[in-house]
Structure 1
Amino acid sequence: MSEARPTAPAPDSSASHRLGSKGGVPRLATHLWVLTFALLVAAFVPLLLHRSIADALASGASSRSFIDRGVQESVITPPKRNAVGSGPLSPITSYVVEPGDTVPTIAARAGIGASTLMQVNQLASGDSLSVGDVLSLPPVDGIVVSPSPGESVVELAGAYHVDALAICRVNAITLLSPLPSPVFIPGLAPPRPSRMSPVPPDGSRPGLLHFVWPTQGTISQPFFQYHPGIDIANGYGTPEVAAAAGQVVFAGAGSYGIYVEIDHGDGYHTIYGHMEQTLVSVGQTVSAGQQIGLMGSTGRSTGPHLHFQVMHNGVPQNPLNFLST
């Protein structure tokens, strides 16, 4: 006899249909929410992008407007005044002397002092002009100096307390250019032209101490703040003599090229610079007018001349106050 085996109940198709219907509602709702969110994103993202782009464009326009204003203002703003004039200096120009020209009239037309014109062009006096002479005309008053070998524009400007760019403009150089020799320093006042006269003149000037002229020639550089002596120009080998009796305390090469220094007592010393050769030695006693050397151009020099300096207690004095006139 066979035993009846239990069998699993047959699935209820109607129940299965009911479960499927209930599970499809959440899936359809989810799909609807996703579709709705996608539509919202699609609707609002372009609006947000448009606004962001508009803000960016407005910001860019504002920045560009600011930049444009800065450029325009930089163009229309006048240049700052410099120490030697109301604007950028122009380079030194040339002028050919014409009939009837004089140092004062040329200087007046150029807007500079007669002393500047005479110093820049190494004129011994206001009468030393000839028709056809070519003169250098700086745009402002100033002085002419000889730079040290290898000296830069910035170093020279610092030594004379002037604007380095002003030196560049006047001399038509750049900050990195080698300095010409001589070089014009704008903005420094040279001494009056009355100090520049042929040497040696006749006569004598009363004073506490009298010096004889140390050589023959013409004053090419007068005494002023940054040049503590006078330069007397002539040819190589021109005799140089002691301005007064004294004792030689230096004879050789140094800060004035080859030079001689003489102690005259009472705190007075004289210096004879840029010699070609000395003819005396340290400790030697010399008399006034005794030859002590030959004119040259050694050291910081641009041509043969005597740099003659008078010191009293270590302070430079104007030699013209002690020399016969």
Structure 2
Amino acid sequence: MTSAEYADRSAIEHPIEAEELRRTYAGGFEAVAGISFSVPRGEIFALLGTNGAGKTSTVELLEGLAAPSGGAVRVLGRDPYRERAAVRPRIGVMLQEGGFPSELTVEETARMWAGCTSRARPVGEALGLVGLAPRAGVRVKQLSGGERRRLDLALALLGRPEVLFLDEPTTGLDAEGRRDTWDLVRALRDDGATVLLTTHYLEEAESLADRLAIMHGGRIVAAGTPAEVKAARPARIRFTLPAGIAAARLPLTLEAAAHGRRIEIRTRRLQDALGELLAWARELNVTLEGLDARSASLEEAFLDIAQQGNETEMAGSR
């Protein structure tokens, strides 16, 4: 198989590929410490992590803005840094801040951008996709923060990208704007585009992403579908014991933490644990006030992973 044939096949199956990817800055700081993942065509993939986890450094490598210090990255089967001229016309990039000339109107900005874009869709169509058509004649400096994010997205979509990179795409949007953006991203995915996004809104990642990866300290520490990542963390049961019933009377098989009368049980067998708890309460004829049982949310999984990572780092520095 020739290199061109490999690139074409790879582009069809996995438009984004990273293998043992590393990025080291001056002074020896390793922001990306050997991560590997791939994104199939027609998938929304979310890259999550706390500030300093390595997300932005990773995305910049995927976008071809810098060369990796080690490992390899392929976008549409090609090196996005060394083969930038071949890759750039086929991808869309939405940065956290566009930095557009403030005196230009929305339409003038889009037309200027379209002039630098291969296979650009009509400007009116791009603005219509993000709900900015009625604001076409408004100067950029008069746009709200949310409207500027819409403009950023419109320009990323001008070239009908096969791969779309979205960096915090809904920052500054109101609830309606965020939902509209989600619907648009899903429609792009359903039309065959591959989307990689970063976001601090965990609800956004849970709603949008087909799969996700959580980074900490430059490494991927959890990956899978949102359901798989959540299932790897313990569920919880919370309730308040009646006065006069001590936490020590709870079944020994339930690992309970007591804060006064308030009880929290962490378990990986939620149904069994809940059944055992309710049978115990029925036997003693007591009511468990404020009973709440649920699987781990993505936010809980994320915070748990971040806390464990911080504890590991602190232990290693001693």
Fold equivalence (TM over 0.5): no
Larger radius of gyration: 1
By percentage of residues, which structure has more helix? 2
Q: TM-score range by the shorter chain?
A: under 0.3
